[in-house]
Structure 1
Amino acid sequence: MQDVDLDPRLLRTFLAVAETLHFGRAADRLHLAQASVSGHVKRLEATLDVALLARTSRTVALTPAGVVLAEHARRLEQATVAAVRETRRADRGETGSLAVGLAAAIPIDLVRPAVDTFRAARPEVVVELREAAWTDPSGGLADGAVDVAFLRPPVDAAGVALEPLISEDRMAILPAAHPLTAREVLSIEDLVDEPWAGSDTDPVWRAFWTAEAERGAPARYATMISSLDGLFDAVRHAGAVGLVPASAAERVAGTGVAFRPVADIAPTTVDVGWHPASEDPRVRAFVAVARRVLRVAPLA
């Protein structure tokens, strides 16, 4: 069968005539001259080599071939409208999926308002939350596993943009029976000679959480950990100390460990991170929602 290239304008004109069964009314609908409508239909018939309309001086009727083409033309028009609509929605980031990373030591409840707000605003975008391994403080951004992430800087991840959303204190975590728990507020000097819990992760991130900048030297490690729960166990059972966000302290208070403020160290922030080179409108929309809903909410 020979391929036929149908002009969408001719199909649209024919469909108007098929639905009105009147050249004049079809011309009014399409804002064309009646002669142009007639000419379009004749060209379409010549292209297909079939009669689509049975014309008399008073009536216009569809031939059997015209009935079939009218139905297909109607479906094509509906599909075209749907294609344009869905294409524009995709361009606005209203459909598809978005992978959101969650770095270690960020409880979902802390950022849930932003996630829920985004889901409510774009219900047809499937939001997939992915908890990153302890060894990946970038939340999955470093290797492109996610589109956007919540993380705690500093992280060594090239090409990642960060925007602070939530600020909270870093707290010292100690065994509940440790002598330092007798003090209400600690200094980093109080912890310098204590055994710390270390981890095999991003050195920049590890240095921040062991306060290397404030102490001026790497920590002495009593044990190695691979999760936040591992840190709690190291404190309980190995006598280690460490630093945790205030939100983590609230989660595990009264479980064999104690927490104290440290006066002379900088706070930690929860940032939203993304690759600026990304042109995905869902990423831009999610960052905007996170900025609006969460920034900047201090937790002390």
Structure 2
Amino acid sequence: MEFRLLQYFVVLAEELHFSRAAQRLHISQPPLSVAIKQLEGQLSAQLFERSSKEVRLTAAGQHLLVQARDILDRSRRAALDTRAVAQGMAGCLRLGFVGSSMYRGLPEALAQLQAQHPQVRVDLHELNSAAQVTALQQGKIDLGLMHTLAAPAGLHTQMLLREPFMACLPAQHPLATQARLSVSSLAKERLVLFSGAVSPEYFRSIHSLCLRAGFDPELRHEVHHWLSVLSLVSNRQGVSIVPACLQRAGIPGLVFRPLRDNTVHSEMQAMWRSGLEHPLVTALLEHLKHQIEQSATRTQADAPAARIP
């Protein structure tokens, strides 16, 4: 059945008068009569009883009216929803992220996105960087926020942030009195680090930083979440080297100190499928970059986070 025929049928069923129905449809009466006969022929059912005095719906016509209104309504809603999704006003964004992005403006960016577009649903998936790449390739997420990785074919990247690593110490630690530390000053300390199995990039960066400072770090714990790293340090289970953004975690009993001879940085990049026009990806990235810029302006650390052009 054509939508046009259903539209003609519904208007005539509401008016029960060919002339008035034709006027509403902005057509003449003969094409309306032809359309109704065509629809009845397609359905092999009489929809109207016609006489010189009145037009009435048959039982078949009354049944079709309910169905036709539903079909036309769903068609209109589908068109409106599709337009809203195309304009970034509605739809679903499947977002992969690493834990550190929660301290790099992601919660605020998500709040802004959903305040502006309340019909948007964001599905969050906490995954390590390698798992995000796989999820992007398999079409399971639309956008990934991850540590620096070379993009495989078919994926596009944008650098969002580069910030220094800092020493993280218990507040009572003797080194906490110094304004700035050398990496070598941590040589005799037991380190609490993010697991190399979960984030080999972070692990290699910190391990190489220690090796360049002249020592092979003694690992006390390897954990899977940054909050676990901070909690262990605050409970005097060791010290750590962490991205500067973790100063904003708000865990008591910790101090963060810049590293004097730091030669590596913690980076966060966005990755998505090349050629995929997804308005929600663009919108969230704009909010996130704005939050990163605001955070850089507010931060008073010696080496604040910086937006990458």
Per the shorter chain, which TM-score range?
0.7 to 0.9
Q: Deviations over 1:220-254 (max 9, x none)?
A: 2232311435534268555x443123342354665
Cα separation, 1, equivalents of 2:17 and 2:241: 81
2:58 paired with 1:60: no
- Using a 3 Å threshold, how does the CA distance of structure 1 residues 218 and 154 change in structure 2: closer, same or farther? farther
- 1:94 is displaced (CA, Å) by 4.5
Structure of higher CA gyration radius: 1
Q: Does the 8 Å contact 1:195/1:241 carry over to 2?
A: yes
Q: CA deviation at 1:116?
A: 0.6
Question: Could you tell me whether the CA contact under 8 Å between 1:172 and 1:260 is conserved in 2?
Answer: yes
Task: Work out which of the residue numbers 142, 163, 166 in structure 1 matches 2:133.
Answer: 142
- 1:127-168 Cα offsets, whole Å, 9 max, x none, are 233444xxx2x28513316443444x3346646544444554
CA distance in 2, matches of 1:193, 1:121: 51
User: Bigger CA drift: 178-187 or 32-41?
Assistant: 178-187
Alignment-derived partner of residue 3 in structure 1:
none
Report SS of the residue matched to 1:181.
helix
Identical positions, percent: 28
Say which of 21, 29, 37 aligns to 2:24: 29
Which residue in the other structure is 1:249 paired with? 247
**Displacement, 1:278?**
4.7
Shift of the 268–117 alpha-carbon distance from structure 1 to 2, 3 Å rule, reads same
Letter in 1 for 2:77: A
Is the partner of 1:42 in helix, strand or coil?
A: helix
CA contact (8 A) 1:197 1:221 kept: no
Structure 2 unaligned blocks of 5 or more? 302-309
Find the counterpart in structure 1 of residue 266 from structure 2: 268
The equivalent residue for 2:204 is 207
Q: Distance in 2 between matches of 1:139 and 1:94?
A: 30
CA distance in 1, matches of 2:249, 2:40: 75
Alpha-carbon separation, structure 2, partners of 1:250 and 1:52: 69
- TM-fit CA distance, 1:115: 0.8
Instruction: Please give the alpha-carbon distance, in whole angstroms, between the structure 2 residues aligned to 1:175 and 1:293.
Output: 29
**1:120 is the counterpart of 2:111:** no
What is the rounded CA distance, in whole Å, between the counterparts of 1:43 and 1:22 in structure 2? Answer: 18
User: Which residues of 2 match residues 109-258 of structure 1 at below 5 A?
Assistant: 110-132=105-127, 136=128, 138=129, 140-144=131-135, 146-151=141-146, 153-155=147-149, 158=152, 161-165=156-160, 168-176=163-171, 178-191=173-186, 195-198=190-193, 199-201=195-197, 202-210=199-207, 212=209, 215=212, 219-226=216-223, 227-232=225-230, 233=232, 237=236, 240-251=238-249, 255=253, 257-258=254-255
Shift of 1:19: 1.8
- CA distance in 2: counterparts of 1:254 and 1:63, whole angstroms: 76
Contact persistence 1:99–1:129 (CA under 8 A): yes
Q: Is the 8 A contact 2:105 2:291 kept in 1?
A: no
Q: 1:284 to 1:73 in 2, by over 3 A?
A: same
Partner of 2:15: 20
Return the alpha-carbon distance in structure 2 between the equivalents of residues 62 and 251 of structure 1.
69
Counterpart residue identity of residue 118, structure 1: L
What letter corresponds to residue 39 of structure 1 in structure 2?
A: V
Q: Which residue type is aligned with residue 212 of structure 2?
A: R
- Identify which of 94, 106, 131 aligns with 1:99: 94
CA contact (8 A) 2:145 2:270 kept: yes
Cα displacement string for residues 51-90 of structure 1 (whole angstroms, at most 9, x for unaligned residues):
3333344543334433333333223222222232233334
Provide the aligned length of Structure 1 versus Structure 2.
Answer: 288
Query: CA offset at residue 96 of structure 1?
Result: 4.6
Query: What SS is found at the alignment partner of 1:142?
Result: helix
- Partners of 2:252 and 2:59 in 1: how far apart? 82
**Aligned pair in 2 of structure 1 residues 273, 54: CA closer, same or farther (>3 Å)?**
same
Q: What is aligned with 1:89?
A: 84
Q: Distance in 2 between matches of 1:163 and 1:296?
A: 19
The runs of 5 or more residues in structure 1 that have no matched partner are 1-5
Contact 1:174 1:259 in 2 (8 A): yes
Pairwise CA RMSD: 3.6
